[in-house]
Chains A and B, each alone.
Chain A
Amino acid sequence: MPLAADLTYSWSQALADLGQIAPIAALVLFMLFAIVTDLVLPPKRRGDAVAIVAVTGFAYSAGTVGYRWVYATGGYAYHRFATGDNFALFFEMLFAVLGVLTVALSHSYLRRRRMVQAEFHILIMAAVIGMMVLASATSLVSIFLGLELFSVALYILSGFARGESRSQEAAAKYLLIGGFASAFVLYGMALTYGGAGTTVIPDIATRLGSSSSGNPLIVLGIVLMGVGFAFKVSAAPFHMWTPDVYQGAPIPVTAFMSVGTKAAAFAMIVRVFASGLPHLAPEWQALLALISAASMVWGNLAAIAQSSIKRMMAYSGVAQAGYILIGVIAGGTNGIAAVLYYLFVYMFMNFGAFAVITLLAGPDGDRDGFEDLKGLYQKNRIMAIAISVFMLSLAGFPPSVGFFGKLFLFTAGVGAGYTWLVVLAVVMSAVSFFYYVRLLVPVWTPAAQPEVVPGSFSSKTAIVLAGLASVALGLYPTTLLLAGQLGANPITPP
Chain B
Amino acid sequence: MTLSAIWVLPLVGGAVVAFLPPRFAKWLGVLVALATLAVSGYVAYSFTPGQSGYQFVEKAAWISPLNVLYELGVDGISLWLVVLNAFLTVIAVLAVPISRRTGGFVGLLLAMSAGLAGVFMATDLVLFYVFWEAMLIPAYFLLWQFGEGRRPGAAALKFVLYTLVGSLLMLVGVIGEYIATGKHTFDMATLATLAPSSGLQFALFTVFALAFAIKTPLFPFHSWLPDAYMAAPTPMLVTFAGVMGKAGAYGFLRIALPLFPHPADWWDWSWVIPVLAVAAILWGALMALAQRDMKLLVAYSSVSHMGFIILGIFALNVQGQQGAVLQMVNHGVIIAALFLIVAWISERAGTRDRSAMAGLARRMPIMAGVFAVVTFAALGLPGLNSFVGEFMTMLGAWERAPALAAVAAIGLVLTPVYMLRLFQGVMQGEPAGIALRSDIRAAQLTLLAPLIILMFVLGLDPNLLTNLMTSLGTIGLAH
When chains A and B are docked, how far (Å) is the Cα of A444 from the Cα of B176?
A: 37
Q: How far is the CB of B141 from chain A (nearest CB, A)?
A: 8
Whether B136 contacts A422 by the Cβ 8 Å rule is no
Q: Mark B145-170, 1 if CB is under 8 A from A, else 0.
A: 10000000100010011001100110
Whether B64 contacts A422 by the Cβ 8 Å rule is no
**Contacts known (A407-B126, A433-B161, A482-B65); A399 close to B134, Cβ less than 8 A:** yes
Whether B62 contacts A478 by the Cβ 8 Å rule is yes
Task: Judge whether B436 is part of the interface by a CB distance below 8 angstroms.
Answer: no
Chain B residues whose CB sits within 8 angstroms of the CB of A316 once the complex forms: none
Whether B172 contacts A423 by the Cβ 8 Å rule is yes
Task: Judge whether B478 is part of the interface by a CB distance below 8 angstroms.
Answer: no
Chain B residues whose CB sits within 8 angstroms of the CB of A441 once the complex forms: 153
Stretch in contact with the other chain, from A57-65, A288-296, A410-418 = A410-418
Q: How far is the CB of B60 from chain A (nearest CB, A)?
A: 11
Chain B residues whose CB sits within 8 angstroms of the CB of A415 once the complex forms: 179
Whether A430 contacts B164 by the Cβ 8 Å rule is yes
**Contacts known (A415-B179, A444-B145); A427 close to B168, Cβ less than 8 A:** yes
Whether A414 contacts B175 by the Cβ 8 Å rule is yes
Task: Judge whether A21 is part of the interface by a CB distance below 8 angstroms.
Answer: no
Task: Judge whether A182 is part of the interface by a CB distance below 8 angstroms.
Answer: no
Q: Please name the residue on chain A nearest to B126 by beta carbon.
A: A407
User: Considering the complex, which residues of chain A in the window 393-448 have a beta carbon less than 8 Å from any beta carbon of chain B?
Assistant: 397-399, 403-404, 406-408, 410-411, 414-415, 419, 422-423, 426-427, 429-430, 433-434, 437, 441, 444
Q: Is the interface of B mostly helix, strand, loop or mixed?
A: helix
Q: Please name the residue on chain B nearest to A482 by beta carbon.
A: B65
Whether A398 contacts B130 by the Cβ 8 Å rule is yes
When chains A and B are docked, how far (Å) is the Cα of A414 from the Cα of B131?
A: 22
Whether A430 contacts B165 by the Cβ 8 Å rule is yes
Q: Is the interface of A mostly helix, strand, loop or mixed?
A: helix
When chains A and B are docked, how far (Å) is the Cα of A447 from the Cα of B157?
A: 21
Task: Judge whether B87 is part of the interface by a CB distance below 8 angstroms.
Answer: no
Chain A residues whose CB sits within 8 angstroms of the CB of B57 once the complex forms: none
Q: How far is the CB of B11 from chain A (nearest CB, A)?
A: 10
Task: Choose among B61, B65, B160, B172 the residue that contacts A485 (Cβ–Cβ < 8 A).
Answer: B65
When chains A and B are docked, how far (Å) is the Cα of A430 from the Cα of B166?
A: 9
Q: Mark A92-111, 1 if CB is under 8 A from B, else 0.
A: 00000000000000000000
Task: Choose among A392, A408, A414, A433 the residue that contacts B172 (Cβ–Cβ < 8 A).
Answer: A414
Q: Please name the residue on chain B nearest to A431 by beta carbon.
A: B161
When chains A and B are docked, how far (Å) is the Cα of A430 from the Cα of B130?
A: 16
Chain A residues whose CB sits within 8 angstroms of the CB of B141 once the complex forms: 444
For this complex, into which size category does the number of interface residues on chain A fall?
20 to 34
**Contacts known (A430-B168, A477-B63, A481-B63); A398 close to B129, Cβ less than 8 A:** yes
Q: How far is the CB of A442 from chain B (nearest CB, A)?
A: 11
Q: Please name the residue on chain A nearest to B166 by beta carbon.
A: A430
Q: Please name the residue on chain A nearest to B141 by beta carbon.
A: A444
Q: How far is the CB of A194 from chain B (nearest CB, A)?
A: 40
Q: How far is the CB of A291 from chain B (nearest CB, A)?
A: 21
Whether A403 contacts B133 by the Cβ 8 Å rule is yes
Task: Choose among B157, B171, B179 the residue that contacts A407 (Cβ–Cβ < 8 A).
Answer: B171
Whether B65 contacts A437 by the Cβ 8 Å rule is no
Q: How far is the CB of A86 from chain B (nearest CB, A)?
A: 15
Q: How far is the CB of B169 from chain A (nearest CB, A)?
A: 6
Q: How far is the CB of B116 from chain A (nearest CB, A)?
A: 14
Task: Judge whether B178 is part of the interface by a CB distance below 8 angstroms.
Answer: yes
Task: Judge whether A88 is part of the interface by a CB distance below 8 angstroms.
Answer: no
Chain A residues whose CB sits within 8 angstroms of the CB of B165 once the complex forms: 427, 430
Q: How far is the CB of A144 from chain B (nearest CB, A)?
A: 34
Whether B172 contacts A437 by the Cβ 8 Å rule is no
Whether A399 contacts B65 by the Cβ 8 Å rule is no
Task: Judge whether B406 is part of the interface by a CB distance below 8 angstroms.
Answer: no
**Contacts known (A397-B136, A397-B137, A399-B134); A437 close to B176, Cβ less than 8 A:** no
Whether A397 contacts B65 by the Cβ 8 Å rule is no
Chain B residues whose CB sits within 8 angstroms of the CB of A482 once the complex forms: 64-65
Q: How far is the CB of A6 from chain B (nearest CB, A)?
A: 42
Task: Judge whether A325 is part of the interface by a CB distance below 8 angstroms.
Answer: no
**Contacts known (A398-B130, A444-B145, A482-B64); A410 close to B171, Cβ less than 8 A:** yes
Task: Judge whether A82 is part of the interface by a CB distance below 8 angstroms.
Answer: no
Chain B residues whose CB sits within 8 angstroms of the CB of A485 once the complex forms: 65
When chains A and B are docked, how far (Å) is the Cα of A404 from the Cα of B133?
A: 12
The 20 sampled A-B contact pairs (Cβ below 8 Å) are A397-B134, A399-B130, A399-B134, A407-B126, A411-B66, A411-B175, A411-B178, A411-B179, A422-B172, A423-B172, A426-B168, A427-B168, A430-B161, A433-B160, A434-B157, A437-B160, A478-B63, A481-B65, A481-B66, A482-B64
Beyond A403-B130, A444-B141, A476-B62: 19 further Cβ-contacts under 8 Å? A334-B65, A392-B137, A397-B133, A397-B136, A398-B129, A398-B134, A403-B133, A404-B63, A407-B171, A411-B66, A411-B175, A411-B179, A414-B175, A426-B168, A426-B172, A427-B165, A437-B157, A437-B160, A481-B63
Closest 3 CB pairs of A and B: A398-B130, A426-B168, A414-B175
